[in-house]
Amino acid sequence: MEREKQRIQELQTLKLIAETLNEANDLEEMLQAVLKQLMQVMKLQCGWVFFVNEKGDFSLVADYELPPALTWGNKKPMCEGDCWCLDRCKDGRLQRAANVIECKRLEDAIEEKWGDTNGITHHASIPLRAGEEKFGLLNVAAPHKTHFTSEELALLEAVAYQIGTAIKRIKLVENEQKLALLAERNRLARDLHDSVNQLLFSLLLTARGAKEMTEDENMKDTFTYIQQLAQEALHEMRALIWQLRPQGLENGLASALKHYGNMLGLKIDIDIQGVIDLPNEVEECLWRVGQEALNNCKKHAGISTVYIVISVQSNKVKMSVHDQGCGFHYIGENTLSLGLSSMRERVTSLNGEIHIKSTIGEGTTIQVMIPLKRGRG
């Protein structure tokens, strides 16, 4: 009878969590809700979820009722340093739910006297995955609990599989939304090119023709001014279209950067090392970074030639944009303009790195490195 009641409770747990996962669209909210349900149903004290990226970097994405020792300093113990469960996850030793792992973070917290542990010393660790794709870890614990039964571990593993599948679903939805946004941007760019761009060009030609038809100097000056305004508006519109839908990117990143530089009146000396076969999001990121770098060269560097090197290897792509202009006094991230900050955000969103070197009178170099998935050439 007791076994039957336990089985019913497990099924109810899986049903409740499955409903939450099925309705969720926000990743962090979903993980927070599932953690709370799981702790209450299994009568555990606390839980937390780590995400681990391909570089091995981890982040705390959800937690429930952590003891004071782990929330000290705005959860600093949970956001820094190494621990044994993450080490096992990174090197592949943690393939299934691990019964009990002594918590190094709690041991460090006790040693540093960061607060009360509420009697928690151990936790179970369960990998989050969907098929062969790994996302991170689910950890759960309770006061003075140093052993999880095989039934408890089986239930935790079933929940972890559900969570992994939900994470994969949400990521796929986010990717579809990005593709839909790109398609909408392309449509808007086409509309701007076919309507507003053509109207501005017609206005420019009309003003030029009207100027030739009049002998009145005041009228000539007016039409000249209209020509100038139309020319500036046409230039701004073309730049906007490039921002929305980079014409020429379909012919490759190098071609797009070269054409954009020419539009700005810059000579682009570009060197390609390796075969460029990049994922769309990586190519888009490099393109946007290159655009911003070329805009800065045009506005601030006081030069006419920019040197770009793109190097593609099996596991990463590097891009360097260098000018020999006036440079600026760069002392760190606090000195970054909005454009440079935007560059950094784009690159770090793909787990990449960006380095900016600039010296007054000696020019500026922007170096970008973005990792590629294994198997790409």
Confidence of residue 250 (pLDDT cuts 50, 70, 90): low
Residue 307 in this model has a pLDDT that exceeds 90: yes
| Structure tokens belonging to residue 162 | 């559900």
The CA distance from 325 to 359, in Å, is 9
Residue 375 in this model has a pLDDT that exceeds 50: no
pLDDT digit string, tens, across residues 82-99: 777 777 777 767 777 776
The CA distance from 364 to 339, in Å, is 15
- Interval 117-133 mean pLDDT: 82
Confidence of residue 308 (pLDDT cuts 50, 70, 90): very high
DSSP reduced 3-state for 127: strand
Query: What phi and psi, each to the nearest 5 degrees, are found at residue 46?
Result: -145, 165
What percentage of the chain has pLDDT greater than the value 70?
80
Question: According to the model, what pLDDT value does residue 245 have?
Answer: 56
Residue 221 vs residue 186, higher pLDDT:
221
Question: According to the model, what pLDDT value does residue 309 have?
Answer: 93
HSE, CB side, 13 Å, CA atoms: give it for residue 285: 25
- Interval 354-366 mean pLDDT: 87
- Could you tell me the pTM of the whole model? 0.51
Of residues 52, 53, 48, 87, the one with CA closest to residue 71? 48
Mean pLDDT across the chain: 79
State the residue for tokens 């239930």.
155
Question: According to the model, what pLDDT value does residue 367 have?
Answer: 93
Confidence of residue 376 (pLDDT cuts 50, 70, 90): very low
User: Which is it for strands 305-312 and 267-273: parallel, antiparallel or unpaired?
Assistant: parallel
